[in-house]
Each structure stands twice: as structure tokens, then as C-alpha cells.
Amino acid sequence: MRVLASGRHWTRPENLFVLNTSKACFVIVDMQNFSCAPAKGEALPHIDQVVTKINMLADFFRRIGVPVIWVRHNINITADQVGTDAGLYPAFHDTKDVRSVSNRSSGTEIFPSMHYDPAVDYVVFKNRYSAFLSNPPQLRERLETLQRTQLVLAGVAANVCVESTVRDAMQLDYEVVLVSDGVAASDETLLKSTLTNTRLFFGDVRTAAEVMEALSKDAS
């Protein structure tokens, strides 16, 4: 039993879900040029470590036959800049940021350092922070086709697109495991908040090593 900052007791187990190779899927959020190597040069803290952990997990998941899905953020803007499917996104981001994630530009490409295997991996697009609120809902459609109900999630930014996707996944009855050393945020406070909030209300939080240990046992 743990005690929260408010003094209330939290009685849920450390890990709710038993990872299973027949149910699991590795979902990687927004590991793209605009987020991993932004043009303005403000890289997220520990992004190199996150790249390393995600690559390690992607290689591992392929070896044990578990699907790997890369989620790419992309919004569509008409040539005259009038029409867009971005919703309120432009209200929170400057024009340069909006263009970096629009019309499948170079900014939306998967970061070159990632171990993406186009022969076996899947790619889906989203135009909202949450991959489950995107229109069309490509992630959910892919998961239904693959018959996967257990999501191991990693990527960036932890407190924005990752957490939004985690929250909606849980509300749609997917079992969520967030990789604690496979996510990054703009500062440690925001990262810690996402990890704590996920563990309290939305899913399990485990390291990459713990995920691999659990799935290795199941695979054997």
C-alpha cells in the first residue's frame, strides 16, 4: 500500500496487467523529425535515451512476433492556407510549428535514428493529440484488425500526445503499459506528473527492461 501526497491510501497493485504476446502491441507516438530534431533546436531532455530505449523495444517486439505501430502526427492544410483538419491546434502553436507537422512534410517523417522496419511495422496517422480522437481513427482501426487489446506505449511528448492517448486508450478498455524510460517531456515536472497520473488512474508504468522481462517469460 502506498500513501499519496494528500495522505490518502492507494491500494491498487503495482502492476495490474499481465503482459501477453497474443494481446500486446507496441505503440510509438510522434518519434518524428519535428519532435526529435526540431528546427529551432530545442530538443526534449533525455531524447537520446528515449530513442535508445524505443529502438531496443522495437527490435525486441519484432523478435517475439508482437506488432509494432508507429503513430505519426500530421495535419492537412490547403494550398491557400484556409482549410485545415487541425481543429484548435493552430491556436496553441505558432505558424512554424504548424507547418512542421503538416501535409506529410519532412518534419512528419519518422526520425532517421529510429529502428523503423517498413517491411513489417505499421504506420498510422493522427491529427489530434490523442491517437484515438484522430479522424479517421487509424490507430483504433489497426488495433481492431490486429485484434490487440494490450498497448505498450512510448514516445513524445509524455504530457501531451502520449498522455492523451493513454487516457483515451484506458477509457476504451485497452490495457495500457506506459514505458517510463521510453517517454520524454519538456521538463522533469511534467514527465513525473504524467507517470504518476498514469499509474494512479490509467495504466501500469514500467521500465523497458521490465516490459521485456515480462514478455520474455510469456513468450517462453
Identify the structural domains of the chain with CATH numbers, from first to last. Answer: 15-219 (3.40.50.850)
Q: Which residue has the higher pLDDT, 207 or 11?
A: 207
pLDDT of residue 10: 65
Cell of 108: 512528419
The rounded percent of the chain whose pLDDT value lies above 90 is: 75
pLDDT band at 98 (very low <50, low <70, confident <90, very high): confident
Once rounded to an integer, what is the mean pLDDT over residues 41-50? 88
Q: Identify the pLDDT of residue 88.
A: 86
Grid cell listed for 73? 502526427
Give, as one character, the DSSP assignment of residue 43.
P
Please tell me the predicted confidence (pLDDT) of residue 9: 59
Which pLDDT band, with edges at 50, 70 and 90, does 14 fall under?
confident
Query: Which set of grid coordinates corresponds to residue 71?
Result: 503513430
Average of pLDDT values for 83-112?
87
113-148 in b/e form (b: 16+ CB < 10 A) is ebbbeeeebbebbbbbbbbbbbeebbbbebbeeeeb
pLDDT on residue 1: 40
Which sign, positive or negative, has the C-alpha torsion 120, 54, 25, 157?
Answer: negative
Q: Where are the beta strands (DSSP E) in the chain?
A: 2-3, 9-10, 24-29, 68-73, 122-126, 150-156, 175-184, 204-206
More confident residue, 127 or 80: 127
Which of 49, 71, 53 lies closest to 61 in space, CA to CA? 53
At 201-213, the pLDDT tens digits run 999 999 999 999 9
Mean pLDDT over all residues of the chain? 91
